[in-house]
Structure 1
Amino acid sequence: MRCEEYGYGLGGLDGILVLKYASASHLDFGESRQDLLHQLYWSPDGVLAAWHRRETSFVGSHEAYWVHRAVTHEVRAGDRQTVYRICLREVPPALAGLRAGAVPIDAAAGELIREIAASGVEVRRAVAARARIMTGLGPPADPGHGPENKGTGYAVTVARTLSRDPADPRTLADWADRLHISVKTLQRDFVREFGMPYSRWRARLRLRASRVLLENHQVAEVARRVGYATPSAFITAFTREYGCTPGRYSTPAPGRARWQDA
């Protein structure tokens, strides 16, 4: 695992510390309690699994996982994945009162996180970026409603909900009915947002989520958790996507019952 650390204005409330992790294997931040700093985890290229109070949340690239200081939590990522861990002294305005949970992050905030996680960035520029990152975080989204800007963002709304529960069985028609739009409109929005139709996007999400879980769960359990009807269907899809069977990644370890019980 490689970790790069970038800190700006750390002596004041408006400071920000960004830790950038990249690894060829699974990332496991372990159980931690940060008494001094709030934590924000975000991965632009994969799925995170986060544990808090015996509940497991999956978080896709359109969301980040927020943890208030002094809150015990655990976060895991899959192999060949980049994760940013942002440490703050202040609570973003939209997240007041939230102890831990998935929160929307807009595209501009994500780009700024990547920009300041680099060498040679001026402190003034990074502190200004921090202010924009703070406002780019929204309160936990209500998955039962469409986007505020009618006519756009429907695919992102569905993506956020599915990222939390990849096993959600709802079809494209089910989502369109829930959002009060046509199936064609939702399908077009998926192609516009993600460059692929709904079925392909959901399949990739499920497989990415499976890679987060395989190190600590058996293949059959992972297949069920990410929405496959049978282990054989999961193995076939995984092998087609990655060129190897999921058994290569699955190494169940003792003493991790809280993940299995979550």
Structure 2
Amino acid sequence: MPVTGHVGNDPESCEEYGYGLGAPDGILVLKYRSANALAFGERRQDFLHQLYWSPDGPLATMHGSSVRFAGPGEAYWVARAVSCDVRAGDRQTVYRICVREVPPALAGLRAGPVTLDAEAARLIPAIARRTCDEATALAARRRILAGLGAPPALPAPAEVRGVGFALTVARALAHDPADPTRLDEWAERLRVSAKTLQRDFQREYGMPYTRWRTLLRLRAARVLLDSAPVTKVAHRVGYASASAFITAFAKEYGTTPGDYVARDASARTSPTAVRR
């Protein structure tokens, strides 16, 4: 039988679903949802590998002064006993999946973004439900692990067929929102016209490249604002100045970054760092 329950003082802050716990093929799924930013960081001594995935926003990982992001269609893998600070923005759902097995495609990876195919992305929320039975969840676990892969670098043009140009660029840019590469420069790298790439962004995301990049940068900033000064965040996500960042942030969200952080702090009834 699956083990389910709530974790923390807020019954909606974390739901826990365990299937076959203690067995090599078991799986533990923790589903987090918070009105404020979430941070997962601790010195780990456990023997479980962990996968972090959010269907509705970016994840940032911090190692000292280095910050990396998981892009569209990606999750973040952390091997057992590896310490890693993973962060998500406010009003964001995060799934934390704990397993004992390493997928062959991720052998040797200590921590880093990984691709997550559409079927795996569908199955993760499906097993984080009270109505899911253990046999179904354990079968889904096998498919989820099979759906993980190491993300490739920007592929050669011949490897991208017809559509997929926007997704290729989006994944590369999401790893580093501050990347200043223009649409025409991306198109040149992929050996397609700028018009073709722009059209693919419109088809894939319903908006042009520059708008998509602006939203990416601002969403990434929301993940970081809780832990870094506004000026540092502005530069980290690609703005030349704090004033340009503040203007863009206020235009999109109706509040300045400083007021956003203050609102988050006053709304908190418990620490945002989640440790298990």
Please say whether Structure 1 and Structure 2 have the same fold, judged by a TM-score greater than 0.5: yes
Q: Counterpart in 2 of 1:257?
A: none
Distance 1:161 1:180 in 2: 16
Out of 60, 68, 81, the position equivalent to 1:57 is 68
Residue by residue over 1:131-153, the C-alpha shift from the partner in whole angstroms, topping out at 9 and shown as x without a partner, is 11111111132135458452222
> RMSD across aligned C-alpha pairs, in angstroms?
1.8
Distance in 2 of aligned mates of 1:116 and 1:43: 15
- What's the secondary structure of 2:204's corresponding residue? helix
- Give me the whole-angstrom Cα distance separating, in 2, the residues matched to 1:78 and 1:146: 34
Gapped regions of structure 2 (runs ≥ 5): 1-9, 263-276
Give me the whole-angstrom Cα distance separating, in 1, the residues matched to 2:249 and 2:229. 14
* 1:198 pairs with 2:209: yes
Divergent runs of 4+, >6 A: none
Q: Does residue 1:27 correspond to 2:58, yes or no?
A: no
Q: What does 1:39-188 correspond to in 2, within 5 Å?
A: 39-52=50-63, 55-143=66-154, 145-146=156-157, 148-188=159-199
The aligned counterpart of 1:3 is: 14
Match for residue 221 of structure 1?
A: 232
Per-residue CA deviations over 1:144-170 (Å, capped at 9, x if unaligned) read: 545845222221111111111000000
Distance 1:147 1:23 in 2: 42
Aligned residues: 252
1:147–1:157 Cα contact (<8 Å) kept:
no
Q: Distance in 1 between matches of 2:189 and 2:59?
A: 26
Residues 61 and 44 (structure 1), Cα distance of their counterparts in 2 relative to 1, 3 Å cut: farther
Structure 1: tracts of 5 or more residues without a match: 252-262
**CA 1:230–1:147 in structure 2 vs 1: closer, same or farther (change >3 Å)?**
farther
Residues 72 and 170 in structure 2, CA contact (< 8 A), matched pair in contact too: no
Contact 1:104 1:138 in 2 (8 A): yes
**Rounded Cα–Cα distance in structure 1 between residues aligned with 2:112 and 2:143:** 20
Work out whether residues 49 and 101 of structure 2, in 8 Å CA contact, stay in contact via their aligned partners in 1: yes
The letter for the 1-side match of 2:56 is D
Report sequence identity in percent. 64
Q: 1:147 to 1:63 in 2, by over 3 A?
A: farther
* Superimposed CA distance per residue, residues 15-60 of structure 1 (whole angstroms, 9 cap, x where no aligned partner): 1111110111110112331521001011111111112476321113
**Secondary structure at 2:255's aligned position in 1?**
coil
Q: C-alpha separation between the residues in 1 aligned to 2:158 and 2:243?
A: 37
What is the CA distance between 1:100 and its match in structure 2? Answer: 0.6
Structure 2 CA distance for partners of 1:93 and 1:217, relative to 1, 3 Å: same
Return 29-38 or 234-243, whichever deviates more. Answer: 29-38
TM score, norm. by length of structure 1: 0.90
Matched letter for residue 245 of structure 2 = F
Give TM-score, length-normalised by structure 2: 0.86
SS at match of 2:60: strand
